[in-house]
Amino acid sequence: MSGLEETRQEVGEDSQGERATAEISLIDKQAIVANALVGHKISGVQKCEYSWAFVFESSATLTAECPWRILKGEIAFTERDHGQQFGLPAPLDGEPEVIRLLTRQGGASLHKGRHR
């Protein structure tokens, strides 16, 4: 199974009065979600057991159950950094670190890409 299973969505009737459906792939859904969130400011983040929830001022929430990273010219934080000590006095608390990085001067923008 590739993880890119297609789903069907009813879109109304075609010219012959038949119910028409459209196939929307997972990639198409990701683009729709990403485009809907572009320009919205993040207002909160929550680390869950196997995912991260990013809450936007528009009341939208994006739940990530996959690898992600924050780039500030270079990698500033990834989902795997939460709880790591990296020689610091205490382990990193990902929730406030993500908010700090995403609300700094210049804000944040949403980009889609492929994990390598």
pLDDT, tens digit, 9 for 90 and up, residues 18-49:
665 556 565 677 777 777 777 778 888 999 99
What pLDDT, on the 0 to 100 scale, is given for residue 23?
60
Rounded Cα gap, residues 30 and 71, in angstroms: 19
Residue 45: count of CB within 10 angstroms of its CB: 19
Tell me whether residue 102 is exposed, middle or buried, using C-beta atoms within 10 angstroms of its C-beta: 0 to 12, 13 to 18, 19 or more.
buried
Q: With 60 as the cut, is the pLDDT of residue 8 above it?
A: no
Model pLDDT, residue 46: 93
Beta strand pairing call for 7-13 and 52-56: unpaired
pLDDT at residue 51 tops 90? yes
- Cβ neighbours of residue 107 under 8 Å, at least 6 residues apart? 41
- Of the given ranges (2-6, 72-76, 81-85, 109-113), which has the lowest mean pLDDT? 2-6
Q: Check if the beta carbon of residue 37 is closer than 8 Å to that of residue 60.
A: yes
